[in-house]
Amino acid sequence: MSDTDTKIQEAIANPQNMGEMSDADSVGTVGNPECGDMVRMWLKFDEKDGKKVIDKASFQSFGCQTAIAVASMATEMLKGKTVEEAQALDSKDLSAPLGPLPPMKIHCGEMVEGALRDALNGDSEASANEEPSPVAGNTLLGDMNNRVESSGKLKVVTLEEGEEQVL
């Protein structure tokens, strides 16, 4: 087993920040049509020294072990980062604690990056003071079920806030 495989096994044995965040300010979802996996990431922001920083991040993943491991690492890494710093992170940065991913697993890290970008883009300054985002309480499983039921097959797209309210 490679060093990276060992680290992935360790990460999924004790994943950090897994689960939806009910008081999130923003949520992002992304998936891969090839493997059918999905990752959703929630972000909660705070202000520090006049800058908007990520107070906490959490994720849900219906994906392979690598995606779960990268998401776990990423949500730890994001704590305390400014939005600008988080935007500068790519999938390589997010998966760096695991070591270099094998070519066939690179998209797993990219999916986590995609969920982060979607969450960062979906954030609005006012969202923390408005009604809670309708997506924040949605589970990824429920969303996937809706998509499977309505389309007959899982179609993976980047979701806009509110778009997934198909109940």
Alpha helices in the chain (DSSP H): 3-13, 65-78, 83-87, 91-95, 106-122, 140-151
Q: Which of 69, 94, 108, 156 is catalytic?
A: 108
Instruction: Indicate which single residue of 111, 115, 144, 159 sits in contact with ligand FES (rule: CB under 6 A).
Output: 111
Query: How many residues bind to ligand FES according to rule CB under 6 A?
Result: 10
Q: Which stretch binds ligand FES (CB under 6 A): 6-14, 18-26, 64-72, 80-88?
A: 64-72
Q: Kindly state whether residue 108 participates in binding ligand FES, applying the rule CB under 6 A.
A: yes
User: Positive or negative CA dihedral for 9, 40, 128, 48?
Assistant: positive
Q: How far is the CB of 98 from ligand FES (least distance, A)?
A: 13
35 catalytic per annotation: yes
64 catalytic per annotation: no
Token digits for 26?
Answer: 């923003």
Q: What angle do CA 82, 110, 67 make, to 5 degrees?
A: 100
Q: Which of 12, 35, 96, 106 is catalytic?
A: 35
Q: For residues 71 and 60, give the distance between their C-alpha atoms in angstroms, rounded to a whole number.
A: 8
Q: Which stretch binds ligand FES (CB under 6 A): 6-14, 59-67, 83-91, 149-157?
A: 59-67
Residue type, 94: L
* CB nearer to ligand FES: pick between 66 and 95: 66
Radius of gyration for the alpha carbons in the chain, expressed in angstroms and rounded: 15
Neighbours of 142 (CB within 10 A): 12
* CB nearer to ligand FES: pick between 64 and 98: 64
Applying the rule CB under 6 A, the residues between 32 and 51 that interact with ligand FES are 32, 35, 37
Report the catalytic residues.
Answer: 35, 108
